Amino acid sequence: MAAVDLTTHPGHLARRLQQAHYLLWNTMVSEEITSPQFAVLNALVAEPGLDQRTVGERVGLDRSTIAEVISRLGRRGLLDKVRDPQDGRRFLLRLTDDGLRTHRKLTVRTARMNQVFLAPLSADEQSVFFELIQRVADAAEGLRNPTEPLAAQR
């Protein structure tokens, strides 16, 4: 009786979108390397020598999750992890040659997959798609990460 229409619930749509993407990634990009793992590789291509926490910040993963992902990438020999001699709390991360190669290979496939994934939208619609999702995600992240938490509301 009082059931709700989930197609107007952004959370439900976001989950379905991610599932669809997961599926396509598995078939078109890689069964070994996942999309979050690729994001980490990509962050380290852009900025080699980052520490774990910062990589997590770049790709949007919390401290626990980034630790797991990095440990998996390390086990596969795609990156190296060394203590920062300047700050014994940090681990500095750097891709191995294998990691670099893997990133290059997956970059190509990822581009192809994105084309297929976005094929139902025109070029204009794709821009709107990106922009709207980003606005919503950024705003929600802002709610959690209050730069100036005081006197903002009320």
93 beta partners: 81
**Using CB under 8 A, which of 31, 46, 150, 152 touches a second copy?**
46
Strand 91-95 to 79-83 pairing = antiparallel
Which of residues 24 and 92 has its CB atom nearest to a second copy in the complex?
24
The CA distance from 54 to 12, in Å, is 29
The verdict on 47 binding DNA (CB under 7 A) reads: no
Does 6 sit near a second copy (CB under 8 A)?
A: yes
Grouping H, G, I as helix, E, B as strand and the rest as coil, residue 4 is: coil
Among positions 18, 49, 63, 146, the unique one binding a second copy when judged by CB under 8 A: 18
Q: Does 68 help bind DNA (rule: CB under 7 A)?
A: yes
Closer to DNA at the Cβ: 15 or 101?
A: 15
Site string for DNA, 27-46 (x = CB under 7 A): -------x-xx---------
Question: Which residues in 85-101 are b (16+ Cβ under 10 Å) and which e?
Answer: eeeeebbbbebeeebbe
- In eight-state DSSP terms, residue 92 is E
Contact between residue 103 and residue 94 where contact means Cβ atoms under 8 Å apart = no
Task: Kindly list the residues in this chain that would bind a second copy in the complex (CB under 8 A).
Answer: 1-4, 6-25, 35-36, 39, 42-43, 45-46, 59-60, 103-104, 107, 110, 114, 116-121, 125, 128-130, 132-141, 143-144
